[in-house]
Amino acid sequence: MRGYAASKILRNIISEIGEGKEELVKSVSLSAAHHSLLEELNRLRDHILKNEVTISNLTKEIGIQENIAKELNKKNSRLLSLLETEKQRSTAELRKEMLYRNQGKQIKYLQECLQDANLKIKSQSIRSQINKKYKEIEKGGIIFLKPIGNFTEEGIENAVTEMDIKKGDL
């Protein structure tokens, strides 16, 4: 201590103590920072594990939903196929019904035509019988006058066909 001032020695001791304190504070603060970093790391690891479990569960759920979607698509395809089949059947049924109606109308028309033809045949048959009687009577010497309703081309043609008018008839 000789040759040194007490104040200088005290200052050196205090500075050495201060440096030690700083190292101690640094050491303590590094240890606390290290501890907080480890806690943060553990918290993040837990968070990652939870997220991995969530991802795994969501992946399973996606698989389930995809299977459900596939089944629904198959069902939709079957229903569309059934709908198309029903449309075709319905269209065929409508065509058949329209054909039936048309044929019914045609049958009715043909029946009316047949009735008209039958009436004409009966009328021709009656005229033919009357004409035969007139011819038999004419063979006996009586001459009948054959009337013509209208002296038009059509009237004359009708009289010729109905009354069996021939060349030389009165």
Domain count, the chain: 2
Q: Which two tokens stand for residue 10?
A: 């005290």
Q: By C-alpha distance, which of 170, 113, 103 is closest to 138?
A: 170
Q: Are 93 and 148 contained in the same domain?
A: no
Q: How many residues does the chain have?
A: 170
Q: Flag whether pLDDT at 144 surpasses 60.
A: yes
Q: Are 112 and 155 contained in the same domain?
A: no
Q: Are 84 and 151 contained in the same domain?
A: no
- Check: CB of residue 163 under 8 Å from CB of residue 146: yes
Q: Flag whether 133 is in a domain.
A: no
Q: Are 118 and 146 contained in the same domain?
A: no
Q: Are 21 and 98 contained in the same domain?
A: yes
CA–CA dist 73, 88 (Å, integer): 22
Q: Are 118 and 167 contained in the same domain?
A: no
**CA 20, 23, 25, 27: dihedral to nearest 10 degrees?**
-140
Q: Are 10 and 48 contained in the same domain?
A: yes
For 105-115, what is the mean pLDDT? 96
pLDDT band at 96 (very low <50, low <70, confident <90, very high): very high
Q: Are 94 and 164 contained in the same domain?
A: no
Cα–Cα distances (Å) from 60 to 23, 71, 164, in that order, read 54, 17, 103
pLDDT tens digit sequence for 2-29? 666 666 666 776 766 666 555 555 555 5
Beta strand spans in 89-157 (E)? none
Q: Flag whether 17 is in a domain.
A: yes
Q: Flag whether 92 is in a domain.
A: yes
Q: Flag whether pLDDT at 143 surpasses 90.
A: no
pLDDT tens digit sequence for 46-74? 999 999 999 999 999 999 999 999 999 99
pLDDT band at 141 (very low <50, low <70, confident <90, very high): confident
Q: Flag whether pLDDT at 113 surpasses 90.
A: yes
Give me the domain span that covers residue 162.
140-170
Q: The whole model's pTM is what? A: 0.42
For all residues of the chain together, what is the average pLDDT? 84
Q: Are 31 and 97 contained in the same domain?
A: yes
Q: Flag whether 63 is in a domain.
A: yes
DSSP run (H or E) holding 26: helix 6-139
Q: Flag whether 10 is in a domain.
A: yes
Q: Are 90 and 170 contained in the same domain?
A: no
Q: What is the pLDDT of residue 109?
A: 97
- Check: CB of residue 144 under 8 Å from CB of residue 136: no
**CA 102, 107, 112, 114: dihedral to nearest 10 degrees?**
140
Q: Flag whether pLDDT at 146 surpasses 90.
A: no
Q: Flag whether 162 is in a domain.
A: yes
Q: What is the pLDDT of residue 115?
A: 96
Q: Give the HSE-up count for residue 124: Cα atoms under 13 Å, Cβ half-sphere.
A: 9
